Structure formats: C-alpha cells, structure tokens
C-alpha cells in the first residue's frame, strides 16, 4: 500500500497537468472560423443598417463586386492578376535575397565576436527605422525603377532574419556540443550537425516574421513611381476615395501573407518536427 501511494501522482500535480493541457488544432481552427463568420456578419449588419456611410465602410457586397471586376478584367484598371504578380515578384525577390544574405550573416554573428561587432551596429541602428524614413534616400541613390522597390522590401526582411539566425545559434546546449566532440566530430561537423539543426526553428520563425515585414513594406515600396502592384492599386484607389477598392486590396494582401504563413508552418513541421516536443 505504501509503494502504491508513493507511485501515484499527487492530486495537485494531476490538476496542474490537466489545467495546462495544450488545446488541439481542431478546436482552434473551429474557433477561428467562428470568429471570421462573426466579423463578417457584424460588418454586413453595420453596413446594411446604414450606421456607417459607404465612403468610410463599404458593404461586403460592394467589396466583392470590386474583387470580381478586377479578377475578370472588367474594372477600369489593370486586372488583379497583373497587380498580384507584380507585387509577388517584388516581395519574394527581396525575401529570397534576404534569406541568401541575412541568414549567413546571422550565423556568422552567432559564431564570431568579430562578425557580431561588424554587423550588429548597422542592423540595430536601422532596424527600428520605418521604411518611409529612408525611402527618400533610396530614391536619390537608386532612382525610381524596380531596384529601389526591391531594396526597400529587402531591408525590411533583412534585420529580422539576421537576428533570428543569430539567436538560433545559441539554441544548442553545451552538453550536445560536448557530446559531438567526444564522438570525434570536428568543428565544422559540430556546426553542421548540431548547431545548425538546433538553430533551424529560430531561423524559420525569422522567415515568417520577415515575409510579414515584406508585405507590410509593399505599399511604401510601390509609392516609388509604380504603375502596377497591389500596393499601387490601394494607393491609387485612396486618391479617388474608392474605399471599396482599398479594402479589397487590403484583404488580398492579408490573405496572401496569411497563406504564405500557413505554408511556412507546414514546412516548419517537416523540417523541424521535433520543435515543441523537447
């Protein structure tokens, strides 16, 4: 009886375990769907009751009508696909360049005091600056073609990627590193097989944050003499007080960014399946 009493978990511990049980994915998805339905229903109810003028908040029907017209090319503007592809090219070109440069820089900063001393001051200096603050300088230096647009988005993506990679390099424990050395691993093998796999969750989170910053900077980037793009479409519509087109463009940008974030989550579960299980 004494052994059974000792082996049984205390009631308080059982209560704490059940209280902090992680909810399942299915329940959170259901709650998200209900939230979206409630928001859309509230939007429709407010506009149908005429509580807010269409100039400030158009109805969902008006926004969907603009989406359909842009999608079919019936709008008095370029088709939605032209705007969409132009923005995708700018955002993902800048994001790819940022991945190819910022991740190695962040890894170097995490492994070397010299690299940290070189790259940390400029990154920490410009990271808090809003893109509109240095947009005029980029225009003066690089003109008004595609290069400054991509460069502005690139700078927005670079800092979070570099800092995430630097933080990820500290994820490997000293015990893991010593265990690899005790089995005869070289310095480069420790980096490749121990430190980099431990850093991958942080790097992938940094990629998700960076692409969010990229889409956030898109409107500012397309202020630079752009004649096509989702951000340019929103800016042009705002000049004519076409709130329905503005909201339609915002929804498209948000949905694209959200879908890419979902894709990154799937990639994250495939590349680092151990994340959250340790």
pLDDT at residue 225, as a whole number? 73
Domain presence at residue 264: yes
Domain of residue 196 covers 85-271
Spatial separation of the C-alpha atoms in residues 95 and 103, rounded to whole Å: 11
Domain presence at residue 25: no
pLDDT at residue 9, as a whole number? 47
Alpha helices in 49-79 (DSSP H): 60-72
Domain presence at residue 188: yes
pLDDT at residue 146, as a whole number? 86
Q: Return the C-alpha torsion angle 167, 171, 172, 174, nearest 10.
A: 90
Spatial separation of the C-alpha atoms in residues 88 and 65, rounded to whole Å: 23
If one counts every other C-beta atom within 10 angstroms of the C-beta of residue 110, the result is: 21
Task: Supply the CATH number for residue 163's domain.
Answer: 1.10.3720.10
Domain presence at residue 59: no
Number of domains in the chain: 1
pLDDT at residue 23, as a whole number? 52
Domain presence at residue 170: yes
Q: Name residues of the chain where pLDDT drops below 50.
A: 1-20
Domain presence at residue 22: no
Tokens representing 241 are 């007080």
Domain presence at residue 128: yes
pLDDT at residue 20, as a whole number? 45
pLDDT at residue 12, as a whole number? 45
Measured on CA atoms in the order 42, 46, 52, 54, is the torsion positive or negative?
positive
Q: For 2-82, list the strands marked E by DSSP.
A: none
Domain presence at residue 163: yes
Spatial separation of the C-alpha atoms in residues 80 and 184, rounded to whole Å: 58
SS3 166: helix
If one counts every other C-beta atom within 10 angstroms of the C-beta of residue 134, the result is: 15
């Amino acid at each position: 009886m004494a052994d059974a009493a000792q082996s049984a978990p205390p009631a308080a511990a059982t209560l704490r375990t059940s209280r902090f049980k992680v909810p399942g994915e299915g329940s959170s998805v259901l709650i998200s769907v209900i939230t979206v339905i409630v928001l859309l229903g509230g939007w429709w109810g407010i506009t149908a009751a005429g509580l807010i003028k269409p100039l400030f908040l158009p109805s969902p029907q008006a926004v969907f009508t603009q989406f359909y017209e842009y999608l079919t090319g019936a709008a008095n503007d370029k088709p939605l696909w032209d705007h969409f592809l132009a923005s995708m090219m700018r955002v993902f070109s800048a994001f790819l360049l940022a991945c190819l440069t910022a991740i190695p820089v962040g890894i170097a900063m995490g492994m070397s005091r010299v690299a940290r001393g070189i790259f940390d001051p400029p990154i920490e200096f410009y990271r808090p600056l809003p893109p509109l603050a240095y947009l005029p300088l980029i225009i003066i230096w690089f003109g008004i073609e595609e290069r400054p647009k991509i460069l502005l988005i690139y700078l927005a993506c670079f800092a979070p990627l570099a800092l995430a990679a630097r933080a990820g390099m500290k994820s490997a424990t000293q015990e893991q590193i010593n265990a690899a050395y005790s089995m005869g691993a070289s310095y480069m093998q420790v980096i490749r097989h121990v430190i980099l796999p431990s850093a991958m969750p942080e790097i992938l989170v940094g990629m998700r944050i960076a692409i969010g910053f990229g889409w956030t900077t898109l409107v500012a980037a397309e202020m630079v003499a752009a004649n096509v793009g989702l951000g340019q479409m929103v800016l042009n519509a705002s000049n004519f007080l076409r709130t329905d087109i503005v909201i339609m463009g915002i929804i498209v940008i948000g949905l694209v960014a959200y879908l890419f974030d979902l894709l990154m989550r799937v990639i994250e579960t495939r590349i680092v399946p151990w994340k959250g299980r340790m």
